Amino acid sequence: MKIANIAPASMLEDLIDEQETYHLVVTEQVLDNLPYRRFYQDRVARGDFVILDSDAFEKAEGSTTEAQVAAMLLLRPTEVVLPDTSSRHGTEPTGDEAFSTAQAAHYAYTAIQAELNWMRTPQFMAVAHGRTWEEYMECAVRLEELQNVVCIGVFEEVPELFGISRAEAVQYLSNVLNAETDIHLLGMSEDMLDLQDPFVQQRCRGVDAGKLVCWGLYGSRVTTKSVPKYPGRPKGYFEIPRHSNSLGEVDLARDNISYWRELTRA
Determine the pLDDT at residue 33.
95
263 in Cβ contact with 227 (< 8 Å):
no
Q: How confident is the model at residue 41 (pLDDT cuts 50, 70, 90)?
A: very high
Which whole number is the average pLDDT over 18-31?
A: 96
Determine the pLDDT at residue 221.
96
130 in Cβ contact with 89 (< 8 Å):
no
Which whole number is the average pLDDT over 168-190?
A: 96
Cα–Cα distances in angstroms (integers) from residue 243 to residues 103, 224, 234, 240, 254, in the given order: 43, 30, 16, 9, 16
Determine the pLDDT at residue 96.
74
**Cβ-count burial 172-208 (b if 16+ within 10 Å, e if not):** bbbeebeeebbbbbbbbbeebbbbbbeebbebbbbbb
- What tens digit of pLDDT does each residue of 209-234 get? 999 999 999 999 999 999 999 999 98
Determine the pLDDT at residue 220.
95
Q: Which domains does the chain have, with CATH numbers?
A: 2-210 (3.20.20.105)
Q: How confident is the model at residue 242 (pLDDT cuts 50, 70, 90)?
A: confident
User: Whole-angstrom Cα distance, residue 196 to residue 185?
Assistant: 13
Least confident of 4-18, 112-126, 177-191, 241-255: 112-126
CB count, 10 Å around CB of 151?
Answer: 22
Which whole number is the average pLDDT over 237-264?
A: 86
37 in Cβ contact with 73 (< 8 Å):
no
Q: In the sheet where 206-209 sits, what is the strand order? A: 2-5, 206-209, 182-186, 149-155, 124-127, 79-81, 49-52, 22-25
Q: Which residue has the higher pLDDT, 266 or 194?
A: 194
Determine the pLDDT at residue 59.
58
Give yes or no for residue 153 having a pLDDT over 90: yes
pLDDT, the chain, mean: 88
User: Whole-angstrom Cα distance, residue 207 to residue 199?
Assistant: 14
Give yes or no for residue 147 having a pLDDT over 90: no
56 in Cβ contact with 12 (< 8 Å):
no
Give yes or no for residue 121 having a pLDDT over 90: no
Q: How confident is the model at residue 60 (pLDDT cuts 50, 70, 90)?
A: low
Determine the pLDDT at residue 106.
77
Determine the pLDDT at residue 81.
92
Determine the pLDDT at residue 64.
81
Give yes or no for residue 136 having a pLDDT over 70: yes
Give yes or no for residue 120 having a pLDDT over 60: no
Say if pTM beats, i.e. exceeds, 0.85. Answer: yes
Amino acid 162 reads F
